[in-house]
Structure 1
Amino acid sequence: MSLLACYGGSFDPVHLGHLAVALAVRDALDAEVALVPAADPPHKDATHADAGDRVRMLELAAGGETGLHVDTLELDREGPSYTVDTLRLLRARQGPHRPIAWVVGGDSLLQLDRWHRWREIFAHGHVLAVARPGSPLGIDDVAERAPAVERQVGFRRRPTAALADSPAGGFAVLDLPELRPESSTEVRQRIATGGDWAAMLPPAVAGFIRERRLYGYGAAPEPSL
């Protein structure tokens, strides 16, 4: 049974860096990747675009990419988007045997012990951490910066390919091949101030932002080409 890798986030907006992570996970693990937009991120401020627009941007970004789809599970329920609750519902939907992994960035992994009922995550799925170049997530690296996290994930470590061999309980690290410069915060700032921003997004997403005039688009003149 193939691995279902769930990549959650605000995606406000989705950019090429997000897409690169999703494609790297898909290709490295031969996985089905679900992009899971958060309704109410517990660890962040309120989103800047509404849920419907964020979903549509994700659909445009994933369009035509085999193995990627958008799952609105967190938008379809009330309350904060706690990962443990999302995984519990995904497990109920997928059944007891489907391998499921929750994808996190390196910064999020090092703060995993601040997440709601974080130890229970492993009862419902694996954790797959994506390491950016220059920010390794080896045993010593995590132990030095987040000892409580390493105590929980250390004995769970396994090769990425092995996540598909069991439904839950594992931890693996996927090293990204290149450092991506994009961030949603910078995209929003550039749009609002008339900076150069479109190259940071899939073209269809950039077109949607212009059409919907999101993130203050049009408030400041864009640079001439």
Structure 2
Amino acid sequence: MKAGMPLAGAGQKIGLLGGSFDPPHAGHVHLTKVALKRFGLDRVWWLVSPGNPLKSEGPATVQRRLLAARQIMDDPRVEVTDLESRLNTRFTAETLEQLQRIYPSVRFSWLMGGDNLASVHRWERWPSIFATVPVGVLARPGTPIWARTAYAARLFRAKRLPSSHSHLLGGASAPCWCYLRMPLRAISSSEIRAKGGWVR
């Protein structure tokens, strides 16, 4: 295992929350704590990405975003990492393949906001994400109702886990996904940047 990689025990159920975290904020913390509770996870790893391939403008440096994320996240079950930088991966599908190779006995799940469900079909090799790990989707402020009927949701409709059984997601076998509504917090990284609260 490469130096600096997080420790994980056999059979642990670990949720992966990827993103630029530019900046990290209370909404990320809230989503993570809901995911831990509702998806039956032991831990969550934040994957602070080197950059988003779908965004033309680059984020603040990884080091700055890592430091800010570690300052705001107050739960010992959550580890803030720069795994994608260490693994030299650029796309989620690639990251998941590498992590399953490094941690073959860990039960990983991918976590995303409802807005990402609406656009995930634009991601590189996106069907392999659903085929590789269970996917937990949490509705956030501004998530359109039609996100639940987006292309990915329709393609994997038969593999959807009812929200009443969401606690089974962490131990489920892929393909499996679950859509959850959660108490909303109207905050976003782009809004914080627009108001001058975070200067890249």
- In structure 1, the residue matched to 2:159 is 156
Q: Does 1 or 2 have the higher relative contact order (CA < 8 Å, sep 6+)?
A: 2
Other structure's SS at 1:129 match: strand
> Partners of 1:141 and 1:54 in 2: how far apart?
28
The AA in structure 1 aligned to 2:185 is: R
Structure 2: gaps (5+ residues):
1-10
TM-score scaled to structure 1, two decimals? Answer: 0.74
- Over 3 Å counting, the alpha-carbon distance change for 1:89 and 1:167 in structure 2 is farther
Dislocated runs of 4+, deviation >4 Å: 133-137
Aligned mates of 1:187, 1:133 — CA distance in 2 = 14
| Residue from 88, 110, 114 that aligns with 2:97 | 88
Secondary structure, counterpart of 1:215 in structure 2: coil
Partner-residue secondary structure (3-state), 2:199: helix
Cα deviation code 1:43-73 (max 9, x no counterpart) = 11333310110111111122x4121111211
Query: Which amino acid in 1 is paired with 2:119?
Result: Q
Please tell me whether the aligned partners of residues 3 and 29 of structure 1 are also in contact (alpha carbons under 8 angstroms). no
Q: Shift of residue 113 of structure 1?
A: 1.3
Classify 1:94/1:180 alpha carbon distance in 2 versus 1 (closer, same or farther; 3 Å).
same
Shift of 1:134: 7.6
2:32 — aligned with what?
A: 22
CA 116–29 in structure 1, closer or farther in 2 if over 3 Å, else same: same
Q: Following the alignment from structure 1 to structure 2, what is the Cα–Cα distance between the partners of residues 167 and 55? A: 31
User: Alpha carbons of 1:120 and 1:21: their partners in 2 closer, same or farther (altered >3 Å)?
Assistant: same
- Hey, what does 1:128 align to over in structure 2? 136
Supply the distance in 2 between the matched residues of 1:168 and 1:91 (Cα, whole angstroms): 13
CA contact (8 A) 1:13 1:184 kept: yes
State the superposition RMSD in angstroms.
2.2
Q: Among the aligned pairs, what percent are the same residue?
A: 28
SS at match of 1:33: strand
Counterpart AA for 1:39: P
Give SS of 1:39's match: coil
Preserved CA contact (<8 Å) 1:99 1:168: no
Given candidates 182, 185, 189, the residue that maps to 1:176 is 182
Correspondence for 2:110: 102
- In structure 2, C-alpha distance between the alignment counterparts of 1:131 and 1:52, rounded to whole Å: 29
**Rg larger in structure:** 1
Distance 2:171 2:70 in 1: 29
1:111 deviates by 1.3
Distance 1:190 1:134 in 2: 18
Match of 1:43 in 2: 54
Gap runs ≥5 in structure 1 = 192-196, 198-213, 217-225
Q: How is 1:3-82 mapped onto 2 (pairs within 5 angstroms)? A: 3-31=13-41, 32-62=43-73, 64-78=74-88, 81-82=90-91
Change (3 A) 1:167 1:4: farther
Deviation of the 1:29 alpha carbon: 2.6
Q: How many residues are treated as equivalent by the alignment?
A: 186
* Contact 1:7 1:36 survives alignment (8 Å): yes
